[in-house]
Structure 1
Amino acid sequence: MRTLTRKARLKMFFGFMLIMSMLLSTLGNFASADANNPKTDFMSGKYGIFQHYRYNYNGLGGGLSNWNSQINSFNVNTWANNVAAEGVSWVMFTVGQGQGYYVSPNSKYDSVLTSWGLPARSPNRDLINELADAMHARGIKFFAYFVGDANGDQHMDPDGRKAMLQSNTLADANGNWVLNQTFRDNTIGIVQEWANRWGTKIDGWFIDGIGEWPDADKTRYINTLKAPNPNTVVTLNAGSFGIQSTKQDYVAGEIFTTIVGAPVPTSRWGTGGMQWHGCYYLGGGWGGGGVDNPDSTIIDYTRSVLTKGGAFTWDQFVGTTGNFDQGQYNQMINMKNALAGITPPSNSTNLALNAIATASANVSGETPAMAVDNSTTTKWTDNTTPGDKWLKLDLGSSKSINRWAVKHASAGTDSADRNTRDFKLQKSSDGNTWTDVDTVTGNTASVTDRNVADFSSRYIRLYITKATQTTESVARIFEIELYGNGSGSGIVSGNTYKIVNRNSGKALGVQGQSTADGAAIQQFTYGGGNYQKWIFTQAAGGYWKIKNVNSGKYMDINGASTADGAANIQWPDTGGDNQLWQLIDAGNGYYKIKNKNSGKLLDISGQSTADGAADIQWPDNGGNNQMWQIIAP
C-alpha cells in the first residue's frame, strides 16, 4: 500500500473538517428549525380559551350509548356564538384525555380495540370537525388537545390500555407503567387519521403526556400532525415552561399552583426560542366551574403577558350541551373590554325597541311602552305598594340575545337615589313560567349594560326586587334594551358561506355554473367554485336573502309557487317573499331553511346523495335531507 504524502494527509484532514463543519451546521439548523417561528405570529400578544370536554368529566360518561347522546346534544351554534362574544383569538378543545372515549370517531382506534376483543368506541358525530368550521366562520383559530399517549391512564381504562399495548402487562416490577413501541405506533396511527381528516381545519395542537417517549418518536408524532397541514403549530407539554422537542412551535406553559406571582415573559420568545405561552384555569381546577380569582387579578396578569408578546390560554368550563359557566363567561367579557376596549355588538339593533310591553302596574301617563320607545325623556313608573315589580316584553318571536341594558332614574330626569338597586333579567317561552338569565344586586349606576351567554326567547321580563337606593318602593325605568343576533342563527349578515346538506354531505350550487335567470340550484360535491358560494344578507323581520357569488342572483322558489316539489332557482332580486328565507336552528350545527312565501323547507329531492340532485321545497318531515350546515367556504 502506498504511503500518503504529508500534503495529501493535510488536504484530507481539512476536507474532513469542512464536511464535519457543514454537518454540524445542518444539525444545528435542524435543532432550531422551529425557533422564532413566524407561524406563531397569530398567537403573539393574544389570548384564548381551553375547554375540557371528555368522557366521565363534568358529569359526562356512562358507556358509548350515553356518550353518543351527550355528544349529539352539543349545540355548536350557541357554543360558537358564546366563544365569539368573549373576543378570544383561539379555542383549545379536548379530543381525548386518557379515558378511552373520544369526541370524534377514529377507525384506527376501533380496530385496535376490536383486535383485543373489546367493542368499538367511536361516537357517531365528528364534533371536532364541526367546532373547527364554526370557529373559522367567526375568524377564530381552533386547536385540538390530546393526551399524546392515548388512553394513558391505566386506572381509568385498564382494558383499553392493554389493547393499545397489545399486552396484559400494565406495569413493571417497580410499578412503572409499561409504554412499548406498539403503544406508541398505535397512538401515532390514531392521531394520523384525525390529522389527515381535519387537515387545515386544525390551526394548532396541544399534546400532553408523552414526556417518556424517545426523542425519535416525539419527532415522528409532530411530523405526523404537520404532514397534512404544514402551517399548524404544535406543543408538547413538558409541564411548566420547558419544552419536549426542538421541533415544537410554542411552549405549553402549564401553571400548577396559582396565577398570583406566576411567570411573565421578558419577550415573545420562551424556552428554545419557542413562542412563549402559558395556561391556567378560571375555576377551581382544570375544566371546573366557578370563578377562582377576581377580575382584576386575571386581567392584570393577562395584560402583563400580552404586552411582552406572550400568549395565554384560560381554561373555561364547558357543559354537556356546550353551555358555559355564567360567572366565567362574564369574567371573559370583562377581560375583553379591559384589554381591547368595549366593542359594539355585532348586531346593533335594539331588539326591545317598540316591543309589546306590559307591567305589574303603572302611573297614568308613564306606561310600559315608554320603556321601549328609545327615549330617556319618558319612563315606565310603578308606584304601587311595596313589593316586587316587573316589566314584561313580547318580542313577537324567539330572538337570540347576548347583551342587555337598563337606563335607570338618573339616566333620565330623576335623581341617582332612585336608580334601581336589585333586579333580574328573566326569560320565558310562554310568558308565564320564568327562568333567571342574569341577576344584579347593589346597583348604583345610572345605566346597567351587561353581556350574557347567548340565549333565545320570545318573552323577556325585568324583575325588580329593590326599586331604589332608599326605602322608597317606586320603580322607574327610562329604557330597557336587548341586543344580539335577532335571527338566532349566528350567521353574520354580509358574509359568504357554503350550504351543505346533512344527508348527502354535498353543497348547493347553480347548475353548470350558469349566470342565467332561472338556472336550477342543485347539490354537488364541494369544489370551492363561486357557483357554490352564497352571500347571506339579513332582511326585515329576521328573514335572509341568499345571493350566489358567481351570478349575483338570489335563491328563489320558481314562480312564487307554494306547491310541494317546486324548484329552487336563481333569479334577480324582486323583493318577493319567495326570495326570503327563515333560518331555523335544528341543533347540532344544522339549520332548516324555510321559505317565507310557502312556509316549506329546502329539501334535496328523494333524499338523493347524487351530484346534480334537485333542490326543491317540501313540507317539514324531519329528514336529514332538509337539514343544512351553513359554514365558511
Structure 2
Amino acid sequence: MSNKQWSRRDVMIGTAAALATGALPMQAAMGEVMQASQQPYDSGRAHWMQQPRYTWGVMTHYLSDWQGRDHKLDMSADRWNKMIDGFDVEGMAKRLESVGAGHYQISIGQNSGYYLSPNAVYDRITGATTSKCSRRDLVADLYEPLHKRDIKLMVYLPSGAPAQDKAAVAALEWENGPYPNKNFQKKWEQIIAEWSRRWGKKVEGWWFDGCYFPNSMYRSPSSPNFTSFAAAARAGNADSVVAFNPGVVYRLISMCPDEDYTAGEIDKPEQATIRRSQDGRVDGTQIHVLSFLGEKWGSGKPRFSTEQIIAFTKRVRDANGSVTWDVPVELDGTITQPFLDQLTALGKVFPRNAG
C-alpha cells in the first residue's frame, strides 16, 4: 500500500461472495484455531491492547487522492489545506465514543505526497517550493477530543516514498523493490522522528505499511534497520507501539523484536488463522488484526453482515488480541450511517467498561 506497484488497494480487495452477501456465517468460514506456546520476548508496550476497553478500534484513510477520486476534486496544496481545515475532530471523537471504539488510527499520507501534518524536515529534504504538508496539524488537533474520551490515537504511514510524487521520490532517493535503500531510510527516519517529536505522547502507536522486503532493507546488523526505524517512531514517545506490515498474511507473524504488535493486514477475515494464545502474543508480539468493513480500503458499502463482524472480532478477542476496522469517511471526517450502525452493534457486544 505504500506505493503504486505494491498497493493493497489495487491487488487485494473484496472477499468471498457468500461472506459479502451474508449468505455464509463468519463462524463457519473461519480458519483453523491453533494453540501457541508462551514466548520469551515481550516489550510490554502493547499490553493495553488486551484490556477490554481496547478490544477494537477504527481506522480511516484520509488521503488526498482517494478523497479527490470519490468527490471529483482536482487536488492542489490550497485544496488540501481547505480539506484538512474542514475535518471535524470533535465530531469524529464523539462518533468514536458513541460506538465504543478504544483507539483511532488515521493515515498521515500515502502515495500522493500530501500529508495531514506539517513536517519541516520533509519539506527541506524534498525541496518543495509549495509544501504538500498541511498547515494544520490534524493529528495534534485530534488528540485532545480523543484523550478526554480515553480513545488512543495511532497513525499510519508507508515505509516508502510517495510514488505519485516523482520529485519527492528522487529527492528521497527511493527505489521500489528489494534494494537496501540506505540513503532513503536515513532520510525517512529523520522525517518520522520529526513527526514523533512534534506529537510526543499524544500518539501512542505507529502502523508502517509496505515492509515487503525486510531482508534487503531492514535486517542488517547496523542502522538503518528495524531498530533505527522503530527508534525514529519512538523519538517523541518511548512507549509508542510500532508495527511493520509485510502485506496480507493470513497467519499472524512478528517481523522483528523491535515490533510491539502484529500489523495483521487481512483482506479476507474468513481465511485468517488466529493462533489462540493465553498471553495474547505471537512470538512475543501482541496479537492485532487490521481489516476493512467497506468493499475496499476506505470506500464502498458494507461488505459484511453485523453478525460476521462480531464473530471475527470475538475470535481475535478470544486470543487476547485487538482488531482495527477501517471505514470510509466524508470530507469532514463523518463516518456514514451504515458503518456507524455496524460499529454501534459491535460496541454493544464488546463494551469498553467490561470487566
Q: TM-score range by the shorter chain?
A: 0.7 to 0.9
Distance change >3 Å, CA 51–CA 331, structure 1 → 2: same
Task: Report the CA distance between 1:263 and its aligned residue.
Answer: 2.3
Task: Report the CA distance between 1:278 and its aligned residue.
Answer: 0.6
Superposition pairs of residues 500-511 of structure 1, within 5 angstroms: none
Q: Point out the more displaced range, 303-312 or 186-195.
A: 303-312
1:429 corresponds in structure 2 to: none
Cα distance in 2 for partners of 1:124, 1:51 equals 20
SS in 2 for 1:280: strand
Q: Tell me which amino acid in the other structure corresponds to 1:214.
A: Y
Cα distance in 2 for partners of 1:55, 1:303 equals 34
Cα distance in 2 for partners of 1:341, 1:102 equals 32
Aligned positions, number: 298
CA contact (8 A) 1:51 1:315 kept: yes
CA contact (8 A) 1:290 1:325 kept: no
Task: Report the CA distance between 1:260 and its aligned residue.
Answer: 2.2
Asked if residue 276 in structure 1 is aligned to residue 287 in structure 2, the reply is yes
1:8 corresponds in structure 2 to: none
Q: Give a deviation string over 1:114-144, Cα, whole Å, max 9, x none.
A: 2xx6533221100000112221111111111
- Alignment partner for residue 273 of structure 2, among 240, 256, 263? 263
Q: Tell me which amino acid in the other structure corresponds to 1:58.
A: Q
Cα distance in 2 for partners of 1:182, 1:63 equals 29
Cα distance in 1 for partners of 2:348, 2:130 equals 49
Cα distance in 2 for partners of 1:341, 1:72 equals 31
CA contact (8 A) 1:252 1:279 kept: yes
Q: Give a deviation string over 1:540-579, Cα, whole Å, max 9, x none.
A: xxxxxxxxxxxxxxxxxxxxxxxxxxxxxxxxxxxxxxxx
1:56 corresponds in structure 2 to: 65
Cα distance in 2 for partners of 1:202, 1:305 equals 24
Q: Give a deviation string over 1:275-333, Cα, whole Å, max 9, x none.
A: 01111100001111321000100101111211221111111112211111210110000
Distance change >3 Å, CA 179–CA 103, structure 1 → 2: farther
TM-score, with structure 1 as normaliser: 0.45
Q: Tell me which amino acid in the other structure corresponds to 2:276.
A: T
Asked if residue 300 in structure 1 is aligned to residue 301 in structure 2, the reply is no
Task: Report the CA distance between 1:63 and its aligned residue.
Answer: 1.4
Larger % of helix: which?
2
1:108 corresponds in structure 2 to: 121
2:351 corresponds in structure 1 to: 340
1:442 corresponds in structure 2 to: none
Any unmatched runs of 5+ in structure 2?
1-38
Cα distance in 2 for partners of 1:329, 1:149 equals 32
Superposition pairs of residues 351-390 of structure 1, within 5 angstroms: none
Cα distance in 1 for partners of 2:117, 2:351 equals 34
- Alignment partner for residue 230 of structure 2, among 212, 222, 229? 222
Superposition pairs of residues 3-402 of structure 1, within 5 angstroms: 35-44=41-50, 45=52, 46-59=55-68, 62-114=75-127, 119-151=130-162, 153=163, 156-165=164-173, 176=177, 180-212=181-213, 213-215=217-219, 216=223, 217-239=225-247, 240=249, 241-256=252-267, 258-267=268-277, 268-340=279-351
Cα distance in 2 for partners of 1:124, 1:109 equals 13
Cα distance in 1 for partners of 2:292, 2:142 equals 21
TM-score, with structure 2 as normaliser: 0.78
Task: Report the CA distance between 1:342 and its aligned residue.
Answer: 11
Cα distance in 1 for partners of 2:43, 2:230 equals 15
Cα distance in 2 for partners of 1:88, 1:244 equals 27
SS in 1 for 2:183: helix
SS in 2 for 1:207: strand
Distance change >3 Å, CA 191–CA 261, structure 1 → 2: same
Cα distance in 2 for partners of 1:314, 1:296 equals 14
CA contact (8 A) 2:193 2:236 kept: no
Question: Percent sequence identity over matched residues?
Answer: 28
Cα distance in 2 for partners of 1:132, 1:342 equals 21
CA contact (8 A) 1:47 1:89 kept: yes
SS in 1 for 2:269: coil
Cα distance in 2 for partners of 1:81, 1:269 equals 30
Distance change >3 Å, CA 158–CA 260, structure 1 → 2: same
Task: Report the CA distance between 1:40 and its aligned residue.
Answer: 1.6
CA contact (8 A) 1:211 1:244 kept: no
CA contact (8 A) 1:289 1:325 kept: no
Structure with more relative contact order (C-alpha pairs < 8 Å, separation 6 or more)? 2
CA contact (8 A) 1:289 1:328 kept: no
Task: Report the CA distance between 1:62 and its aligned residue.
Answer: 0.4
Q: Tell me which amino acid in the other structure corresponds to 1:41.
A: H
Cα distance in 1 for partners of 2:91, 2:300 equals 18
SS in 1 for 2:311: helix
Task: Report the CA distance between 1:341 and its aligned residue.
Answer: 9.3
CA contact (8 A) 1:277 1:310 kept: yes
Task: Report the CA distance between 1:179 and its aligned residue.
Answer: 6.0
Cα distance in 2 for partners of 1:38, 1:177 equals 32
CA contact (8 A) 1:254 1:278 kept: yes
Any unmatched runs of 5+ in structure 1?
1-31, 344-633
Distance change >3 Å, CA 245–CA 341, structure 1 → 2: closer
Cα distance in 2 for partners of 1:197, 1:310 equals 30
Q: Give a deviation string over 1:1-40, Cα, whole Å, max 9, x none.
A: xxxxxxxxxxxxxxxxxxxxxxxxxxxxxxx98x333322
SS in 1 for 2:64: coil
Q: Tell me which amino acid in the other structure corresponds to 1:265.
A: R
CA contact (8 A) 2:276 2:318 kept: no
CA contact (8 A) 2:280 2:319 kept: no
SS in 1 for 2:156: strand
Q: Tell me which amino acid in the other structure corresponds to 2:191.
A: I
Larger % of strand: which?
1
CA contact (8 A) 1:234 1:249 kept: yes
Cα distance in 2 for partners of 1:307, 1:90 equals 19
